[in-house]
Chains A and B, each alone.
Chain A
Amino acid sequence: MEALDTLILSRIQFAANISFHILFPTITIALGWVLFFFRVRFAQTADAKWMDAYRFWVKIFALSFAMGVVSGITMSFQFGTNWPGFMETVGNIAGPLLAYEVLTAFFLEAVFIGIMLFGFSRVPGWLHMLATFLVAFGTTVSAFWIIVLNSWMHTPQGFEMIDGVAFATDWWAIIFNPSMPYRFAHMWIASGLTVSFLIAGVSAFRWLLGDRSRDVRIALKTGVTLGALLIPVQIFLGDMHGLNTLEYQPQKVAAMEGIWETGPNQPLLLFAIPDEEARTNHFEIGIPSVASLILTHHFDGVVQGLNDFVAEDGTVMHPPVAMVFWSFRTMVGTGMAMLLLSWTAVFLMWKRRRMHADPSRRHWLAVEGLPKPVLWALVPMAFSGWVATLAGWYTTEIGRQPWLVQGVMTTEMAVADVPAPMVAGTLVGYLIAYGVLLFAYISVVVYLARKAARGDDGRANDMSHSGKAQVEILTPAE
């Protein structure tokens, strides 16, 4: 039984912080580009609906951005307060990557977000559009650098160890390390999916509240269509990323698939309870040989098992199995739900495309095609991207344990010599703060949606299809 020592408390604290943090960049990375799309469409068409959509979503962007900034600052300090060994060992590599993130991305985002949020009536249109572009670009660049560092920790190369300290020998090899392209693409699309479903879910909620304004229509269509387009791309990228992991971190894949013994014809487990004490699975339900097929493209392909990663003296050098196994299944399951829902929704909207009042314009999708159950299903899926993103990160990060930098240093080597009760105290403090903020964030998103649906957020609201507007028509003017 593991006691709650400084190491495990520091790990829980860092996991809590990074989990809370990633929720918000996951939104801003892609939402920045969606806002840029709205802004460009407004410049092209001069149709107010695009700007209305922009104004609604820029509020959620601003809120998410602030949450991301403050939780990100926390992260940068925790490297020092809890994990001093990390920078002492690999600082020569992690340092420049983090420095480039601050220099090339953080300042860009932080300065231009002021102009993006408050500058619409103060600066020329092109500058406002440029500011929107630069903020979106900045979030992407910042994601790039942090993914470079994270990927290097999984697949390190381009360095040499001298007296226990890493020195860079080849920066191109460090930046373009083997897992970086897969991880970056996978995360970028994950952000796109998170935002697609957030937009779709919040817009469906507004629609269900009777909001028939034109911006809620285009937002709903944009969200659902983007989700439907991205999900197959993501499944394909995820598969490629998995094959890359199999090559460099086979112990992680073994934990993901719950494979204990090396051998051919490994089954794809749909359900199992991995037991690390007994080194076996209980209650297995699986499809024979399919895991081998996915991982090696042959039914009788040999896949390495977890038992290969136990040293002679019994030291376990593979990750905790059950957590990785279940995180992976949560991610894949959420992805499947996304696929099913977004494709169904697009199909139903496409079927009713001729419903639209103005037949002269080509409308490929009609929101009226969505029956209530589908709309109601979209609402809780608004935050499905968070579930999938967190589950995915848990799979890859817990899957790297016991290593902090694969093959270079273990997590235990990096932890600070801070008394456990002190870490316990700050952990409780962070958890309370994060819990309250997460509640406040979701409440405000719901509140903003309700307020917009009521039409009292300053927009000229087209309520002609809703009951509310008809009541107004029937009531004689005073």
Chain B
Amino acid sequence: MFPDFANPAEWLPWAFASLMGFSILVYVILDGFDLGVGILFPFAEDAEKDRMIGSIGPFWDANETWLVLAVGLLLVAFPTAHGMILTALYLPVFIMLIGLILRGVAFEFRAKAHAKHKKLWNNLFFIGSTMTALSQGFMLGLYIMGLEQTWATYAFAALTALFLTVGYSFIGATWLIHKTEGGLQLKSVQWAREALWGVILGIGAVSLATPLVSARIFDRWLQFPEALWLAPIPIISGLLVLWLWRMVRQMPYPGDVRSWLPFAVATGLFALAYIGLAYSFYPYVVPERLTIYEAAAAPESLFIILVGACFVVPVIAGYSVLAYTIFRGKATELRYD
């Protein structure tokens, strides 16, 4: 599981795989909630939409930067894998990029363009967010299937696309429970209640599919005694699902206490599911084809990035916390003054 820390050709790729894994996880949670808010857009009234935008407006830019960092780390630390993965995922990447472009600019245009065009930009914000989520889920499915391109893998990828989209809308709804009040909050609880089904089915489907696709992953999870060490991951995940289930049936609590809790628990659940997936594939960066050690760039180059990252990442974390603190509390309409 852990590399030889005396040998830079081993621990550097490992450190970069961890850093990249961490960025992807942060991205999935942070952009997950703001994509989710976009996916929920058509279910809200026009007046509520401004409030929903207000809940993510100050953050979405920084959230998306984690994707740039993740793909950047893949690019710089594992250049061969970067080329293999992205050429295999050529079309879904294209769809994701168009989606990201549409939603990113719709954010600005809906507030600044003529009022008669606002509806158009609202629709594009929804379409862009949904395209992004669907294509990311599709890529996840193909990746799990070892980047094989057959009708069966496409079918599975279509399923993960749907589940990830519902999953994003779930974490988006939990974010809105925390950031809104009144009628919109009640709606958000309702959305969370409905979307939780998708989360359960999605995690279930991926958990069943991964060991079936690869004998290696099957052995890794179901062999004694390793299975004992790993048992907490599915067990805790199950408990978190039950907890969420209870909460979204009782919320909002009187006095709006603990409105942050569903988002926090959902974050925990996403993190566990992600760690399970990462464990299945380690040490491969391209499933069953290329390990992180084979794909890694020169140790000297990795070292020079790591030195910078050690200084800069804590600073980034610091000012991200500052931004979330400044814009804490219930969302208001966004104003420039």
Contact = CB atoms under 8 A, between A and B. Distances in A.
B197 interface: no
Given A80-B86, A103-B309, A443 B113 contact: yes
Interface string A106-118: 1111111111011
16 contacts: A91-B297, A92-B297, A93-B301, A100-B308, A103-B313, A114-B323, A115-B58, A115-B323, A118-B335, A118-B336, A119-B326, A120-B337, A429-B94, A437-B101, A444-B109, A444-B113
Contact of A107 (B91, B304, B316): B316
B300 A168 contact: yes
B232 interface: no
A232 B85 CA distance: 48
Interface of B: 57-59, 61-62, 64-65, 67-69, 71-77, 79-80, 82-87, 89-91, 93-94, 97-98, 100-102, 104-105, 107-109, 112-114, 297-298, 300-301, 304-305, 308-309, 312-313, 316, 319-320, 322-323, 326-327, 334-337
A111 B62 CA distance: 5
Nearest to A84: B83
A440 interface: yes
A247 B320 CA distance: 45
A430 B74 CA distance: 24
Given A443-B113, A447-B113, A111 B301 contact: no
B83 A95 contact: no
- Which of B61, B104, B327: most chain A CB closer than 10 A? B61
Interface string A248-272: 0000000000000000000000000
Contacts of B79: 84, 87-88, 91, 95
Contacts, number: 217
A110 B71 contact: no
Contacts of B86: 77, 80-81, 84
Interface in A372-402: none
Interface string A82-99: 001101100111111011
Contacts of A437: 101, 105
A114 B327 contact: yes
B297 to A, nearest CB: 5
B65 A59 contact: no
Contact of A111 (B77, B83, B298, B323): B323
Contacts of A94: 76
Interface in A152-202: 165, 167-168, 171
Interface of A: 55, 58-59, 62-63, 65-67, 69-74, 76-77, 79-81, 84-85, 87-88, 91-96, 98-100, 102-104, 106-115, 117-123, 165, 167-168, 171, 416-418, 422, 426, 429-430, 433, 437, 440, 443-444, 447-448, 458
A67 B100 CA distance: 11
Nearest to A94: B76
B139 to A, nearest CB: 11
B27 to A, nearest CB: 12
A118 B336 CA distance: 5
B304 to A, nearest CB: 5
Contact of B112 (A92, A121, A123, A444): A444
Given A95-B305, A112-B319, A118-B336, A71 B101 contact: yes
B304 A84 contact: no
B87 A81 contact: yes
A429 B313 CA distance: 36
A121 B58 CA distance: 14
Nearest to A89: B79
A93 B305 CA distance: 11
A91 B76 CA distance: 6
A417 B86 CA distance: 11
Of A87, A416, A437, the most chain B CB neighbours within 10 A belong to A87
Nearest to B71: A76
A43 to B, nearest CB: 15
Nearest to B121: A440
B72 A118 contact: no
A165 B335 CA distance: 51
Contacts of A106: 65, 68-69
A96 B299 CA distance: 11
Nearest to B94: A426
Given A91-B76, A104-B308, A72 B68 contact: yes
B332 to A, nearest CB: 9
